[in-house]
Structure 1
Amino acid sequence: MRAQLARVDAVIVQAVIAGALSFSHLHDLAAAAGQGGWKAWAYPVSVDLLLVAAWRRMRQQQRAGQAAGGTRLWFLVALAASLGANVATAGLLDLDHVPASLRVVVAGWPAVAFFGGTLLAHAPHGPQAPAAPASSSTADTDAEPHPAPVAVDETDRSALPASSTNPQPAPEPTAEPVATPTPAPAPAVSLPPVLVDRVRALAEEHRSSTGHPADPDAVRARLGLPPSMTPSVAAHL
């Protein structure tokens, strides 16, 4: 435990020393480039904050499996600004006679840092949630029921007597007619609630406009139902 705390303390001390030196070099370069007063102190804060923010956002995007190319670009820009200031103040540059190009770079840094910080603030933080599946726009009750198969009654056809060459054919015995059983009416098929409401609405509309009750067959035809559904329509009128 003590060894771990010692390693952490050493890292913190090293980070504080390196940050203080970089801060001082950036301040000296900004002051030499004509940015005096509080502005010279704001430049190192801007560079270091952009560097740290770009590093943290790049790590977050890498953990989330996202592309971090844009964030890595801003990290390299801030690193180049910090490293360039440290190298420039190492005696390679005459701080009393700063070139005009360096003055332009230092003066334009606030706009670059502001733009980079704005893009980092609006960068995605994590994986996007999957889109919810689109629900079906039509309910099951809206579908028209399939018409029940209707049995077609076959008409009885009487047999025609065959023609004979004998001009006076023998009379055939007449058979007593056999009573054909009348098929029972098909039971009324229950309608879905949506069709029941539609049937009643049409019936009420017909009653209010004509003053007479609606004909089940007419209501069935307006709904586009087969003839076999007439008893079901009449059951709800």
Structure 2
Amino acid sequence: MGARHGLRVDAVLIQAVIAGALSFAHLHDLASAAGQNGWKAWAYPVSVDLLLVAAWRRLRSDGPSRLAWCWVLIALFASLGANVATAGFLDLTDPPALLRLGIAGWPALAFLGGTLLAHSSATEPELEPEPVPLALVPQSSDPETQPPEVGREPGTAPVPSPSPAPAPAPAPTPVLAATPTPPVPAVLIDHARKVADEYRARTGSPIDTDTLRSRLGVPPHLADAIAAHLA
């Protein structure tokens, strides 16, 4: 079984060497027919193959992108065009002016493609919300989230404690009562301020409450309190 696997790998390598040598020779013949003599005719197939390898490596390392696929297709078109042109479809003793133009302009095109593939950065990934330690999140005052009382089974209603009869209260004075703000730890505020600054630097606009709550992973009432501190 291992010997058969080794033979299959060897056959693939031999086929790749043969195909590469033929494509290399066709590119050399086409460049030589277009007037590129000496070492320049040998440099053309090296340039085409290196551009194809660089674009394919960019696809494998950074994932699919329009830039990498564009230069893969350009290099593949140059290689396939040379194979077709040297198969008798063109008179290499008198090549057309369009072929001479393409061969003469290839070095500048290949240099541009190699520079873009080497120095362009990949798309910035979407930042995942950073987890917040549970110790920094204050406990909610919602009775549904509170632990059950000692001596009471979960799922049963709490037994109301007897309360003394209320004393007559004076007439209430109409005063606007402010909504109490839950306490927020200073460490959590500092962390939220860093998240908000990073969001503003990346998008150019202040962070909204829903995005802040999603990034920090906190309850809505706590997100509102943090947003009030950041305002």
So what's the TM-score if we normalise by structure 1?
0.51
Does residue 72 of the first structure (1) align with residue 69 of the second (2)? yes
1:42 corresponding residue in structure 2: 43
* Cα distance in 1 for residues equivalent to 2:31 and 2:72: 20
Residue in structure 2 matched with residue 7 of structure 1 by the alignment: 8
Which structure 2 residues correspond to residues 35-114 of structure 1 after superposition, within 5 A? 35-62=36-63, 67-114=64-111
> What is the distance in 2 between the residues matched to 1:3 and 1:123?
43
Q: Aligned-pair distance for 1:123? A: 3.4
Residues in 1 aligned to 2:121 and 2:80: alpha-carbon distance in whole angstroms: 28
Q: Which amino acid aligns with 2:109?
A: V
Q: Match of 2:85, as an amino acid?
A: A
CA contact (8 A) 1:58 1:72 kept: yes
CA distance in 1, matches of 2:69, 2:24: 22
Residue 17 of structure 1 corresponds to 18
Change (3 A) 1:10 1:126: farther
Picking from 107, 113, 118, the partner of 2:115 is 118
Structure 2: stretches of 5+ with no match in the other structure: 131-231
Which whole-Å CA distance do the structure 1 matches of 2:11 and 2:118 have between them?
A: 32
Does the aligned pair in 2 maintain the 1:26–1:44 contact within 8 Å? yes
Other-structure match for 1:193 = none
Q: Structure 2 CA distance, aligned partners of 1:58 and 1:121?
A: 12
Residue 59 of structure 1, CA deviation: 2.0
Query: Could you tell me how far 1:52 is from its partner in structure 2?
Result: 1.3
Aligned-residue offset at 1:14: 0.5
Normalising by structure 2, what TM-score?
0.52
Residues 132 and 39 of structure 1: CA distance in aligned 2, closer, same or farther (over 3 Å): farther
Number of aligned residues: 129
Aligned to 1:178: none
Aligned-partner Cα distance in 2 for 1:80–1:16: 20
Identity across the alignment (%): 64
Give the Cα–Cα distance (whole angstroms) in 1 for the partners of residues 27 and 45 of structure 2. Answer: 5
2-structure distance, mates of 1:132, 1:113: 41
1:109-157 Cα offsets, whole Å, 9 max, x none, are: 0000000001111233686595998xxxxxxxxxxxxxxxxxxxxxxxx
Bigger Rg over Cα: 1
Aligned pairs for 1:21-36 (under 5 A) are 21-36=22-37
Distance 1:3 1:127, change over 3 A: farther
